[in-house]
Structures are given as structure tokens and as C-alpha cells.
Amino acid sequence: MMKPSLVFPALALAISLDLAATSAQAEEPYRFQELRLAEIPSVEAEPDVVWKDQHYDEKGKPRPLPDIERSRLAADWSGLPRPRWTNEKGHAAVVRIRNLYHPDDHQANQWLRYLQSDDTSPIAMACGPDTGEPRGVDTYLLEASRPEGPRYTVLEAWLDGRTCKGLALRRYQAAVKPLAGGLAYAYRTSCARCSAAESATLHVVIPSGFSSSATGGFRYWTYLMEHLELPLGPGTSGSLQAFVEGASIRAWNHVVPKPLPIVNVAELRIETSFAVGEDEPTIVLAIRGLNIPLS
Amino acid sequence: MDIDGRVVLATTPVEGAPSQLVVLADGRVVVTLRDSNRVAVLEPASAPERKLALLCEARTPSEPIGLFVAPNESTLFVTSGWGRALTAFASDTLEPRYAVPLPREPRAVYVEPSGRRAFVSHAIGDEISIVDLEDPLHSRRSVDLRRHNGENSSRHTGQGFVLTALVGTNPEHVTRLLAPMVSVDQDAGSVSTETYGSRFLAAAPLVAVVDTTSEALLGRNHFVSGQFRETVCTLPRAAALAGERLLLACLGIDAVLELEARARDPMRFERRRYRVPAGPMGVAAEPGRERAVVWSQFAAAVSVLDLRESAKATPAAEIIVSKDLPPGLGAVEARGRILFHATNDPRISGDGRACASCHIDGREDGITWQTPEGRHQTIMLAGRMNEGAPFGWRGETTTLRHHVGRTMKRLAGRGVFGEADSADLDALIAYLKVMPAPVRVEPDETRRALVTRGRELFADPRQGCATCHPGGGTDRAAYDVARSPYRIPFDTPSLRFVGGTAPYFHDGRYATLGDLLRGVDGTMGHTGSLSDEELRALEAYLEDL
């Protein structure tokens, strides 16, 4: 089943307030970027972690980590996101702590917007004897300026708050393709254990928009960037639409290799569709409001 | 017409109102004649300046509209709107091969390149029909368009006048059909206690993308609501594909939208729009050239669109085909026809709806709307407007002027009560009285006998039908036929054309005429003692009214 997009009401509100685009922008024609599926890097990924089912007991209480896991590092955190916009190498980073008793919902994302509101603000997580139960922690790292090529790292962990050690539940690293001149970075995941409709997903990381929606939902939404998803499985279709303000582009320019021009509002659209009888999904990308080379 | 020379070369009169036409590979022209229940094949003359010659014609079920030639050109397929059928003809002789019954108001037909299936859109009814052409019985399946709206939604999808196929890399294998339609919310009135219109978008356009392999919508839960914008296309009437662009001709806004055909919902991905003369009802893209031709019915004009990316969004040429008004329409009625299809007229509604949004082709939409007085269904107008007052389900108005103005106010429109609007109101009413009603085909002997028997039963005082519906019309009185605790009297409606206006009763509680006749015994006449055969006869008579 597709994940619901929680930013959708924001889009509806934006439209109702006529914030979605200025009239001048609405008259500007879209510019299209031809996208071939094979050009977008793909990585095999496990299905999403089902937090409640797998890591909570029947009373809804988080299961403790086994002793052996308790002492194991979930990951080498040194190369992974720290509680900053960027890690020590200047790459865009997100740390998302899942809500202790509602780990499947995305409420934490809303708070991240404020917790990571600038480059120096701390994230509200610290390990120590009083931090209580284990909890889910997700980290995302976009290395857009990496000399070997842009890369994205996902790690979802079950962490003991007392020791900051725990179990890596799902992790993968994918090369990413810059789209729309660097306004977006994209990769695909395939999932052999998922249903046909959910067997492939397009992931798009963009600067945070003041209004955005994607039919596959979003993974996180911080002050710096957001990660949206579109279905690529047979019999599915998806739509992404994001309006990004100049302030967001300015922040984005800190983490991408080639700065984008600062504009009032840039609109990005990506449409995916895959009829059952077709060989591969169709991906259409268009932008307006941002005059940059699209290749 | 010589499109390049921008001149009319020749005009060929035909015996009826042409609805759609197709040019065959050898130059012959096939045309459906909507009001004479015929399809005709015309042959080009030796010179383009000479009229076409009638080669042959054939009778069709009532109201032929949609037309499609099978890829091998051996078979013509014709949809009949009022006759609810898809008929196949041999394309060389017009010999009828078979007819397939369909649900209400079929319009466009598309046959896939393999010739295995025909897809048919409907002006009302939340579905696209799929006819299995390989099955000896030509069984019918359907694509459920309610999936656009969620299973418990109060929205309905209709206005399906067009179907186009998006051809991918393999032209023999069409994987997607694009069906421009409009989703409406029958509960839109619940947002206000005073009106059943509002600034919220009761009518939201979309292009349904049908996955032809799975015979289902590609994707689901499309976002169809939103706030009213003056530019939306709520009366889509014709479409053509130019590569990966869908050209959609829209009545009301008098525009051709250039949409991204590969999008999830192309209606939400507009690339450009062209202003065209009033009443665009036909569009064709010229293969191999970045050019399209648009037919504007109300202005009787042809426009040529330059589809190159760098071109302006205004027609490269406009050619007036005729300055004569169509038969049966004077200047006043012609003005009324434009007003009837006018979207975004603040006098008519607050959410951009036109008269034609609910009264599709002058009929009704099969929808039971939430109104301040409870659920009432749309009434058919065409062919019924000369039967006199009162008007409305409660018989609440005594003049058509008053009723039309009141309806506009209830749709949150400003109304047409001012002196400045008086001429427009006159024009609208004049058009209501002449708008084309369905033309029925002559029944065969068996059917005629059944109808005759039904007429006898209808007139029989023991049934009492003719007491309130003399001659199938109305006694202009109101009765508490619903037997509600509030004893609300409902105006007796005329039964003209009742056979094609399901569902029935003011609140649409009966799906078929048969259900109605069985369900109203004692409250609307006495039908409980009739045998099944007699009920079938009575039903046949009603269908013939």
C-alpha cells in the first residue's frame, strides 16, 4: 500500500491561498528533462521496517535489545550524520528519531524542521542513563559534492538510548543522479520481497519546499531538504510537485557542488507511470521558475 | 477545406446533423448522422472543389455519435447515445454485423490495434465499457471510474465524450487509454444550507488513464477536489494526440489545452493552451507535422494550431466555414446555446459550472444531488421544455424565467434578474425550448405490439397511470408520492423520454423502470396486480414515450 503523503494538506492549503505559484510563473511554460530509467541508479533495498510489529511487544512497549546487540555499534557513526544540517565534511545530513510510542508515524519530521533549524542547532537526542527505552533512529546522508560522485546513505537503527549502541535494521548506499540541474537528486530502490506494485520506488531528495506532495509519501522533511517517493511498480502511477523558495535554494547551495540561482519560487514536477503491459515505467520531469540547464 | 490556402473548397449537404466523421485510407468519408439515426459513407469527387457523393448509408440504433474504424478498415463501430448500443458495420457495404447493448449515454469508441476489444466512454455513469470483440456474445466489462475518488466518496465521474490511445514504443500494443472526464460531488450542496453550489469545486476535470492490460485505472486516489479556477476544462468534448501531447478541446472556456500525455493525470499537467473560436468540438492532429486543426461548432470556424514549442498559443489561422446558423436555431437560440454551455459565468453558478455540466447534452447526469430540500435528481430538459408550468420537483415556480433564475441562485450564481441580463435570459430560455431531443428509431413489429399493450395498461383506470400522466405528460399537480412523515408533495413530472433517464423517483431510489413500477404500487398508481409480462409491456410503453 502506498504511504499517505502528510504534506498533502499543506499543498491543498497553499493552493487555496493561491500560494502555489504566482500568476506570472503559471504562464511560464514547463521545461522538460528527458529521463531514461537506466540513467537513474538503482539499489536493492529491504522492505521498510515495520516498527510496531517487529520491535514492540503486544502491549505496545519497545522490546529491549538483546545483550549482544546492546554492546554492538549500530554503525560507524563517525561518517554518518551528526546533529547538524551537515556532517563534518559538509554533506547534507538528517537524523530522525522516531516517536517512542508511535514509531510508524511521521510526527517527528515536523519537529525536525525546528530542531535542525540552522547549521548549529543541536538535535534533541543524547544518549545516557536517563534516556530510557530503545527507540528507532533513522539517518540519511546526501553526499552531493563527493568527488567520486554523488551518493546517498540510509541507515535505520534500533538504538539503546543508554549506550547509543544498537542494531542496524536496514541500510543501503546508492549512487544518486542529479536532476533538474541539481535541484533534485534521485535513485531507485527495488524490493524483491515486496508486492509487484511496491517492487520499485523512485526516491527524490530536494531542498525543502514550502509546498510539496508526492503520491508515494515522504520519508522526512527538514529545514534543509526532503526525501519524497514515487511508485515505479507495474500498475502504478505517481506524481510529485514541489514549490521551492529562494531561501531553501540558498540553504541547498551549501551542500550541492554547483550553486543554483536564487529565484523567487521554483516548481519541480515528476510524474511516474507504469502500465502493466509496458516494458518499463515512464518518468516525466519538468521545472519552471528556475532557468538552469537541465542536463 | 484547403487548410493551407485557408479557403472552403466545397460543402456537401447531408441528411442529418453530423456528429463524428472519419476519413478512410482510400479517401472515403464516414459520418454519423445523430438526428436521423444513420451512418453514411461519402465518396470524394475527382476534384476537391466538388461535393462528396453519397455512397451508401445504414440505419443505426437511436442517436449515432461515436465512430471508429477498425485498424484493418474492415469494420466500422458506431456508438448510439440514446439507443445505448455499439453497432458494428462492414465498412465497404455498411451491412450491420452485430450490436452490443451498453449502459446509458455511450459516446466515444476506440478499438485497439489487435481488434480484440472496443473501449467506450459514457457521458454519465462512472464507467468505461470494454466490449470483448472476440467473444461470440460480445460480452461487456467495465473500468470502474469511482476508484478515482475513493470507495466511499460522494463523487461521480462523467462527461466522457472522448477516448484517445497513448501509443508507446510498440504501435501494435496500446497500453494506455486517456479519457478526459469530469468528477462531480453530489454532496457539494451540503457545504451550504442555502445553495447546492459553492465556490468549492463541485466539478473537477481529470484525464482518467486506463491501463488497458489490467483494465483498471493506472494509479488510484487521484486528487480531484480543489478550489474553483476560471480556467478549468469542465466540458471536454474532443481530443487528439500529437506525439506525447494530448490536445483537449473544451467547451465553455473555448480553448484547446495542450497536456502532458504521459502524466499521471494529464489534466493536471498543462503545457500550453490555445484560445479558439466558440464551441470547440473537434480536434485532429496532423501526422508528421507540428499542426492541429480544430472545429468550433458554435462559431462554425476551423482553427489551425501551430504546435511547435516556440509558437504562440494563438491559432495560426481561423477560417469561417459558414455564416449561416444551423437549422432550427435563430440568432437568439444560438446565443442561448452559447450561454447554456458557458462555464465560469458568475451569473450562472459560483463554482464555474455551466447548465451543460449537469444537463449533459441538454439531458441529465443521472446524479441525485444533495439540495436544501433533500436529495433530488437532475431532470432532463431537451424535448420537455414546452410542457408548461409548474417547474421544479416541488412545482415551486410557475414560469421558466423564474425557475431558471432561481436555479442559478441556488448554484451560488448571481442570477439573471437585472435588466442587462434580460436578453440573455430570453436567449437561454429560447434555446431550452428548441434544444435537440433524442430521435427514436421505429420499433419492429414485436416491439410495437408490446408497446401497444403497454399503452392500454397505462390508460387503464385500474392502473391509474394516465390519471396523473395524461398521454404520458403531466397533470401539473403535486402529490405526496414518497409518503414521508412530512407529507411533502412532489410535482408530477412529464414522462417524455423517461426510458433513458435512470435512475427514477425524485431521489433516484429506483435503478430501473421495472424497479419503479414494482416499487410504487399504491402510491403512484396500482401495478401490484400486473403480471411480469404486463409489467414488461408497461415498461416498453414508457420507454417509447
Q: How far is A43 from chain B (nearest CA, A)?
A: 24
Mutate to test the interface with A, among B211, B221, B228, B275 (most CBs of A within 10 A): B211
Q: Are residues B482 and B419 in the same domain?
A: no
pLDDT at residue A115 is higher than 70: no
Contacts 24+ apart (CB under 8 A), B491-496: B491/B390, B491/B391, B491/B392, B491/B393, B491/B394, B491/B395, B492/B468, B493/B379, B493/B393, B494/B384, B494/B387, B494/B469, B495/B469, B495/B542, B495/B545, B496/B383, B496/B384, B496/B387, B496/B472, B496/B545
Question: Which of A236, A272, A277 is the closest to B213 by Cβ?
Answer: A277
Looking up residue B510, the CATH number of its domain turns out to be 1.10.760.10
Q: Which three cell numbers stand for residue A32?
A: 522538460
Among A245, A270, A242, smallest CA distance to A260 is for A245
Q: Average pLDDT over chain B, rounded to whole?
A: 88
Q: Does residue B356 sit in the same domain as residue B391?
A: yes
CB distance from B169 to chain A under 8 Å? yes
Residues of B in contact with A12 (CB under 8 A): 225-226
Angle formed at CA B144 by CA B151 and CA B381, multiple of 5 degrees: 95
pLDDT bracket for residue B219 (50, 70, 90): confident
Check whether the bond before B503 is cis (ω within 30° of 0): yes
- Answer whether residue B366 is part of any domain: yes
Q: What is the ipTM of this complex?
A: 0.84
Residues 285-344 of chain B with CB under 8 A from chain A are 309
Q: A275 to chain B: which residues are within 8 Å by CB? A: 175-176, 211-214, 218
* Closest chain B residue to the Cα of A216, Cα to Cα: B219
Interchain CB distance below 8 Å, B260 and A279: no
Q: Is B263 on the interface with A (CB under 8 A)?
A: yes
Q: What percent of chain B has pLDDT over 70?
A: 93
Asked if A284 and B173 come within 8 Å (Cβ–Cβ), the reply is no
Region A237-251 average pLDDT: 92
A178 touches chain B (CB under 8 A): no
User: Which secondary-structure segment (H or E) carries B207?
Assistant: strand B203-211
More confident residue, B509 or A61: B509
Size of interface A-B (CB pairs under 8 A): 75
Contacts of B221 in chain A (CB under 8 A): 2, 215
Confidence of residue A295 (pLDDT cuts 50, 70, 90): low
| B151-164 residue pLDDT tens | 566 788 888 888 88
pLDDT of residue B337: 94
Mutate to test the interface with B, among A269, A271, A280 (most CBs of B within 10 A): A271
Strand partners, A178: A185
Chain A contact present for B264, CB below 8 A:
yes
Where does A79-233 show beta strands of DSSP type E?
A: 92-97, 135-143, 151-160, 165-175, 177-179, 184-190, 200-207, 211-214, 218-221, 225-231
Contact A132, A101 (CB under 8 A): no
Beta-ladder partners of B166: B176
Nearest to B175 among A16, A29, A278 (CB): A278
Q: Is the pLDDT of residue B235 over 80?
A: yes
Percent of chain B with pLDDT over 90: 48
B9-22 pLDDT per residue, tens = 999 999 999 999 99
Residues of B in contact with A30 (CB under 8 A): 260, 269, 271
pLDDT at B128 over 90: yes
Q: Which of A2-6, B19-23, B449-453 has the lowest mean pLDDT?
A: A2-6
Q: Is residue B537 part of a domain?
A: yes
Q: Is A110's pLDDT higher than 60?
A: no
- The pLDDT value recorded for residue B361 is 93
Q: From its phi and psi, is residue B26 left (phi > 0), alpha (psi between -120 and 50) or beta?
A: alpha
A19 lies within 8 A of chain B by CB: no
Instruction: Indicate yes or no: CB of A275 within 8 angstroms of CB of B214.
Output: yes
B337 assigned to some structural domain: yes
| Surface of A (222-281) touching B: CB under 8 A | 231, 235-239, 269, 271-279
Task: Report the gap between the CA of A278 and the closest CA in chain B (Å).
Answer: 7
Minimum distance, in Å, between the CA of residue A27 and any CA atom of chain B: 8
Q: What is the pLDDT of residues B89-108, one digit of tens each?
A: 999 899 999 999 999 999 99
Q: Are strands A184-190 and A42-44 parallel, antiparallel or unpaired?
A: parallel
Exposure class string for B481-518: b at 16+ Cβ within 10 A, else e: bbeeeeebebbbbbbbbbbbbbbbbbebbbeebbebbe
- Confidence grade of residue A14 (pLDDT, cut at 50, 70, 90): very low
Annotate B33-71 with DSSP letters as a single string.
Answer: ETTTTEEEEEE--SSTTSPPEEEEEEE-SSSEEEEEE-T
**B491-505: average pLDDT:** 89
Q: Which of B289, B280, B112, B396 is nearest to A275 (CA)?
A: B112
The verdict on a CB contact (< 8 Å) between A277 and B227 is no
Instruction: Give the mutation candidate from A32, A276, A288 for the B interface (greatest B CB count, under 10 A).
Output: A276
- Of A38-52, B182-196, B211-225, the one with minimum mean pLDDT is B182-196
pLDDT of residue A103: 67
Last residue within a domain, chosen from B386, B406, B434: B434
B427, B450: one domain? no
Residue A171 has pLDDT above 50, yes or no: yes
Partner A contacted by B173 (CB < 8 A): yes
- Whether residue B477 is contained in a domain is answered as yes
Check whether residue B368 and residue B338 sit in a common domain.
yes
Q: How far is A2 from chain B (nearest CA, A)?
A: 10
Structural domain range at position B407: 332-434
CB contact under 8 A, B263 and A239: yes
Last residue of a domain, one of B401, B434, B467: B434
Contacts of B260 in chain A (CB under 8 A): 30, 271, 284, 286
- For the segment B347-398, what is each residue's pLDDT rounded down to a tens digit? 998 888 899 999 999 999 999 888 877 888 999 999 988 887 888 888 888 8
Q: Supply the pLDDT for residue A7.
A: 36
Share of residues in chain A with pLDDT > 90 (%): 35
Given B219, B226, B263, which is nearest A15 (Cβ)? Answer: B226
CA distance A12 to chain B (A): 7
In a domain, B292, yes or no: no
Which of the four pLDDT bands, split at 50, 70 and 90, describes residue A270?
Answer: very high
Confidence bin at B252 (pLDDT 50/70/90): very high
Reduce the DSSP state of residue B150 to 3 states and report it.
Answer: coil
Asked if B187 and B195 count as a contact pair (C-beta separation under 8 A), the reply is no
* Residue B208 β-bridge partners: B179
Facing residue for A282 by CB, picked from B219, B262, B269: B262
- Residues of B with Cβ-Cβ distance to A282 under 8 angstroms: 262
* Mean pLDDT on B62-85: 94
pLDDT higher than threshold 50 for residue B453: yes
B479 shares a domain with B385: no
CA B363 – CA B355 distance, rounded (Å):
10
- Out of A94-98, B435-439, B488-492, the most confident range is B435-439
- Highest average pLDDT, of A9-23, A76-90, B231-245, comes from B231-245
Per residue in B265-322, pLDDT (tens digit) is 898 889 999 999 999 999 999 888 899 999 999 999 999 999 998 888 888 888 999 8
Give the whole-number percent of chain A exceeding pLDDT 70: 65
Distance (Å) from the alpha carbon of B406 to chain A's nearest alpha carbon:
29
pLDDT on residue A13: 36
Domain extents in chain A: 8-43+177-288, 51-174
- Beta-carbon separation of B260 and A238 below 8 A: no
Tell me which residue in B175, B214, B218 faces A237 most closely, judged by beta carbons.
Answer: B218
Cβ pair A282:B218 closer than 8 A: no
H or E stretch including B304? strand B301-306
- Mean pLDDT estimate for chain A: 75
Chain A residues whose beta carbon lies within 8 Å of the beta carbon of residue B271: 29-30
**Same structural domain, B426 and B376:** yes
Please answer yes or no on whether A286 and B260 come within 8 Å at the CB atom: yes
Count the domains in chain B.
Answer: 2
pLDDT band, very low/low/confident/very high, at B430 (cuts 50, 70, 90): very high
Give the pLDDT confidence score for residue B428 in this predicted structure: 93
User: For position A108, what pLDDT does the model report?
Assistant: 44
- A1 or B126, which is more confident: B126
Question: Pick from B169, B213, B262: which is nearest to A284 by CB?
Answer: B262
Residue A27 has pLDDT above 60, yes or no: yes
pTM value > 0.80: yes
Point out the residue among B212, B227, B260 whose CB comes nearest to the CB of A277. B212
Contact call for A273 and B209, based on CB within 8 A: yes
Confidence (pLDDT) at B152 = 60
Answer yes or no: is B471 within a domain: yes
Report the alpha-carbon distance of residue B544 to residue B451 in Å, rounded. Answer: 7
- Any domain includes B467: yes
